[in-house]
Amino acid sequence: MASQDSDQTTTDQLAFQDPTKRYPVISPPAESLPGTGLDAEMTPKADLGEKSYRGTGRLEGRKALITGGDSGIGAATAIAFAREGADVAITYLPEEEQDAQKVAEIIRAEGRTAATLPGDLRDKAFAKELVDGAVDQLGGLDILVNNGGKQKAAEFEEIDDEQLEATYDINILAMFRLVRAALPHLEPGATIINTTSIQAYQPSPTLVDYASTKAAINNFTKGLAEALAPKGIRVNGVAPGPIWTPLQPSGGQKPEDLPEFGQSTALGRAGQPTELAPAYVFLASPESSYVVGETLNVNGGMPTP
């Protein structure tokens, strides 16, 4: 259904526009993509900002590592960071190589360095390997975006130990390990940005494991921000609402809920990944120098505390 496709925007994010109409209301098919899902296989297409994100030099020369940078919010952030002048390392699961290479190509087309570092965030040893790989290929590190995540919709009784442990490992434990590994490389002015969720405040009955990791991420963000601010390292979070990314049609929602995805927001439509990118750019850039321990909600108008 081409008219629903969201990647055809010709105006950039700085063009004045009606937010209810910036993107169409989408009605995705009730399907379930295998594994973590591929951006390349999404119907309708998501907008990662390939054609629409315009940089204004806000991250000139910075070096960023983004987990889950192959698709969705992480990919849109990676593209935006490169357009703002940063070199970018992305990590993702090996089976997402196709998506990762597309993002890397866009980064390189900006004349920036792209490092593609596949691996599993559940693997304890990977955190250090990943940080070392990013530092090695980019020549340093000053932005860490903890964004990779797992969401599987299930009734509470269906959440077995395997799902529970995977969700906690990927969503919150990996953040501790990555920050620990990154810290020795981070200098004053460096920033850490964690992806949390509207689910931290409004847990869905079918996402009890996931939502509780997101509440933990909010608290982790505030505590870590207090711990690192004296060193000149700022920590903040971004809490997305319903955003059209592979996580949703690969089990993040029950298939029967997909056709109405995002329509209950105040704007009446799902968000596109590139609509999140400016929040990450702001929190990564020096212009947010006095913003510490904050969670920026980007959710189309879903009330938060």
Nearer to ligand NAD by C-beta: 42 or 135? Answer: 42
Q: Are strands 87-91 and 63-67 parallel, antiparallel or unpaired?
A: parallel
Residue 120 interaction partner, one of ligand NAD, Mg ion, none, beta carbon < 5-8 Å per kind:
ligand NAD
Residue 95 CB, nearest approach to Mg ion (Å): 9
- Report whether 52 contacts 82 (CB < 8 A): no
> DSSP letter at 120?
-
Which residue number, 175 or 233, has a Cβ lying nearer to ligand NAD?
175
Residues 128-147 as x/- pattern, contact with ligand NAD by CB under 6 A: -------------------x
197 binds ligand NAD (CB under 6 A): yes
Binding mask 156-195 for ligand NAD (x = CB under 6 A): --------------x------------------------x
247 binds ligand NAD (CB under 6 A): yes
Of residues 181, 195, 193, the one with CA closest to residue 150: 195
Contacting Mg ion within 63-92 (CB under 5 A): 70-71
- Taking 3-state DSSP, the helix, strand and coil percentages for the chain, each rounded to the nearest 5, stand at 40, 10, 45
| 240 lines the binding site for ligand NAD (CB under 6 A) | yes
Question: With respect to ligand NAD, which residue has the nearer C-beta, 56 or 304?
Answer: 304
Cβ 293 to ligand NAD shortest distance, Å: 19
Regarding 121 and contact with ligand NAD (CB under 6 A), the answer is: yes
Residues with catalytic roles: 210
> C-beta of 169: minimal distance to ligand NAD in Å?
8
* CB of 44 or CB of 72, closer to ligand NAD: 72
Nearer to ligand NAD, 218 or 232 (CB): 218
Q: What type of residue sits at position 33?
A: L
Structure token digits, residue 190: 């460096």
Residue 93 as a binder of ligand NAD (CB under 6 A): the answer is yes
DSSP 144-190: EEE---------GGG--HHHHHHHHIIIIIHHHHHHHHHGGG--TT-
Residue count of the chain? 305
Is residue 21 within 8 A of residue 267, CB to CB? The reply is: no
SS (H, E, C) 7-76: CCCCCCCCCCCCCCCCCCCCCCCCCCCCCCCCHHHCCCCCCCCCCCCCCCCCCCCCEEEEECCCCHHHHH
Q: For residues 293 and 127, what is the distance between their CA atoms, to the nearest angstrom?
A: 23
| Residues in contact with Mg ion by the rule CB under 5 A | 70-71, 96
| Residues in contact with ligand NAD by the rule CB under 6 A | 36-37, 68, 70-74, 92-93, 96, 120-122, 147-151, 170, 195, 197, 240, 242-243, 245-248
